[in-house]
Amino acid sequence: MHKYIYLIALIVFILPACREAVPEYIWVPGEDFEERLTVRAEQDTVRVGEALILHAQRENSGFVRVKTDIENEPACWWREEPPKFESEVAQNVTWYIEPDDEGKFNLGLRADGSRTVKFARPGTYTLRAETAAWCPPREKSNTLSVVVKSNKK
């Protein structure tokens, strides 16, 4: 029984203290905030089972530095000003394929930050990405069209 009391005390008193303190100043999307997400594929035609390498670049502007207001802490903020340009964010966006669930993305991380996708069936597929940031609006990318050919010659 005493073990549970200690566990409850740990949860109630110690874990909240582990929360990182909010800094005095934070960066938030301002009124002029804009974000652009551009995706590309290294090829527009692949064969079934062949890895297609995907890239994504993100540009943004309009972040403002504000004094932290604990009473009205914004849902979306950064400690440091986010970079205005990120040359490779393919692993940090959410990818969509149509028709749905027709591609399998790499499960491991690639050193250059790109992603790969493989298709199990021939056809024409569209791919797009969306920023994975937790704050709205979640920006959508341009759309790619990929032709997947059969392995039969």
Residue type, 97: I
Task: In whole angstroms, give the CA distance from residue 113 to residue 25.
Answer: 30
Q: Domains in the chain, please, with CATH? A: 20-149 (2.60.40.1080)
Rounded to an integer, what is the distance from CA 109 to the centroid of its chain? Answer: 13
Summarize pLDDT for 29-75 with one digit per residue, the tens.
888 988 899 999 999 999 999 999 999 999 999 999 999 887 777 77
What does the alpha-carbon distance between residue 124 and residue 94 come to, in Å, rounded to a whole number?
20
pTM across the whole model: 0.78
The whole-angstrom separation of Cα 117 and Cα 51 is 6
Helix (H, G, I), strand (E, B) or coil at 28: strand
